[in-house]
Structure 1
Amino acid sequence: METYRQAELRDTVSLMNSTDYKERFKAEYMQVCVRYQKLKAMLDKWDEGKLNFQPTCPRGIYNFQIRAMADYISSLEARAAIEDIEL
């Protein structure tokens, strides 16, 4: 996931449109990493009392979401290793 720290969702468009499933897989991985990092940044700001808005969902929902995203990232990384997909 470290590789995609500066990536944006728009950076995945060409990969998502590829006919090669490995390229689409990379795009899927990049997208979830980007979303994870943005949610993590929001939660960090929340913890620091620096959010510029009031979340409408309870913190527990966000905690559940970020854990699920981390699990999904781990699943994709395991699958990539098995399928010989370089992330």
Structure 2
Amino acid sequence: MATYKKMELKDTVSLMCSDDYKERFKAEYAQVAVRYEKLKAMLDRWDEGKLNFQPTCPRGIYNFQIRAMADYIASLEARAAIEGIEL
């Protein structure tokens, strides 16, 4: 996932529009990785008491979401390895 840390969602547009499914796969992976990192950063700030807003959802919902995202990333990484897609 480290490769996609510096990407933004807008950087995935050309990959997402590709006719090549491997390029679209990379975009899908990058998008979830970017979203995961942003949510993780928010949760870290929450834990540190440094949020500049009051979340409306209970923390348990966010915990469930980040676990689901981590599982999704892991499944994409497994598929990539099997299908020979370099992430």
Pairwise TM-score range, normalised by the shorter structure: over 0.9
Q: Distance in 2 between matches of 1:4 and 1:79?
A: 17
- The two structures, once aligned, show a CA RMSD in angstroms of 0.2
Q: Deviations over 1:39-80 (max 9, x none)?
A: 000000000000000000000000000000000000000000
1:27 paired residue number = 27
**How many Å apart are 1:15 and its aligned residue?**
0.2
State the partner residue of 2:38: 38
Does structure 1 residue 16 correspond to structure 2 residue 11? no
How many angstroms apart in 2 are the aligned matches of 1:81 and 1:15? 19
TM-score normalized by the length of structure 2? 1.00
Q: Distance in 2 between matches of 1:48 and 1:85?
A: 37
Structure 2 gaps of 5+ residues are: none
**CA offsets 1:13-50 (integer angstroms, 9 cap, x no match):** 00000000000000000000000000000000000000
Q: How many residues were matched structurally? A: 87
Aligned to 2:73: 73
Unaligned runs of 5+ in 1: none
The alignment partner of 1:15 has SS state of helix
Amino acid across the alignment from 1:82: I
Segments ≥4 residues shifted beyond 3 Å: none
Percent pairwise identity: 85
Q: State TM-score, norm by structure 1.
A: 1.00
